[in-house]
Amino acid sequence: MNLLNFRKFFIALLLSLSYFSIQSATCVSTGSGNWHNSATWSCGAVPGCGDSIVIQAGHSVTVTSQADYSGCAVTPKVAIYGKLYFDNGNKLRLPCNGVIYIFAGASINPGTGGGNSNFIEICGDIYWNAASGVYFGAGCMPPTAPGCAAVLPVELVEFNAHLNNQKVDVIWMTASEKNNSHFEIQKSADAHSFASIGNVKSAGINGNSYSTLQYLFEDVSPLSGVSYYRLKQVDLDHSFNYSKIVSVNYIKEKNIRFVIYPNPNNGEFTADVSGIENNHEIKISLKGEKGEHVYESSFYINDSASSKFKIIPQYKLSSGVYICTLTLEGIEYNVKVIVS
């Protein structure tokens, strides 16, 4: 499909998504100009509720006063191939179900604004403001918008992070990739200020793939407490998009001592635990060689120096090897126990 036919297809897609009333129109930019000037648009009027709004490549359209569509019963849809600018202090507001598609090579620019002076709002949520700087396509606002896969150079179908012993596995999967350079893995302690912790190159041939690709990045130094992760997907032309944000709660291993004595024993023994602060609840469990639970109980630590707990299973244990597990705040500590 060539570019011209694709644009026609996408305008048709906008129309099908909008459930337009009979008064709705398709407003395509006729050149660079003012959003609020009817001469800027092929429809001969300033875009209104329910309209499909298209800024063509090579055109720069500037929002010079408030473009507030938040009260529209039928929401407009916006497709940007060129540039959207803002004068200082002006906003673009869309109602719920509003969508903005920013194609590769397109951009949203803060113009003379800074901070929150200019922003784009959809259904009460801010998706971009002047402080974010220039937003380069391809991308969608919101990122879950219908038809977004047709816009994005990379179709991300899974992104998650999981604890794996003392590290975090960041995993993601793409269904397709187009001109993809690499993924930048970013981490944050507050879900606002992110820092890069590594890069992974596209597994596609020259950044292109039409089959499923899976990726794994290991964070070997997770933060203590909740960490937030996101992907920055960078295209070959240096445009980029962000994934959703996922979180992992990691509690760093402390200097905990967990000793069983006597060991070997006759099925009854003492668990000596130290290095845990007072008033913390712990769980001690015992499993047989086949993984069956033979004992489990919870205790509270009363002395941070040392706490001793008598372990007496309900039934007499047969001879063999057992695993005694201390669980504290989701972290497990295991000791092999021999019953003679």
Q: What are 65-84's pLDDT values in tens digits?
A: 899 999 998 888 899 989 99
Stronger pLDDT, 253 or 283, i.e. the higher one:
283
180 near 153, Cβ under 8 Å? Answer: yes
Residues in CB range of 263: below 8 A, 6 or more apart: 269, 335, 337, 338
User: What gap in Å lies between CA 135 and CA 124, rounded to an integer?
Assistant: 20
Instruction: Please check the confidence at residue 119 and state whether its pLDDT lies above 70.
Output: yes
% of the chain exceeding 70 in pLDDT? 88
Q: What is the pLDDT of residue 170?
A: 95
The confidence band for 252, taking pLDDT boundaries of 50, 70 and 90, is low
| pLDDT tens readout for residues 15-56 | 444 433 345 788 999 999 999 999 999 999 999 998 889 999
Please, is 271 exposed, middle or buried when counting C-beta atoms within 10 Å of its C-beta (0-12, 13-18, 19+)? buried
Residue 219 confidence (pLDDT) above 60: yes
Strand, coil or helix: 171: strand
Amino acid code (one letter) for 330 = G
- pLDDT digits 0-9 by tens, 152-188: 677 777 899 988 877 899 999 987 787 889 999 999 9
Q: C-alpha 327: how far from its chain's center?
A: 30
pLDDT at 3: 43
Name the E strands within 194-306: 195-201, 213-219, 225-235, 240-242, 246-250, 257-261, 269-274, 281-287, 293-300
Asked if residue 47 has a cis previous peptide bond (ω within 30° of 0), the answer is no
Which amino acid belongs to residue 195? A
Q: Is the dihedral of CA 144, 147, 153, 157 positive or negative?
A: positive
Phi, psi of 10 (to 5 degrees): -70, -35
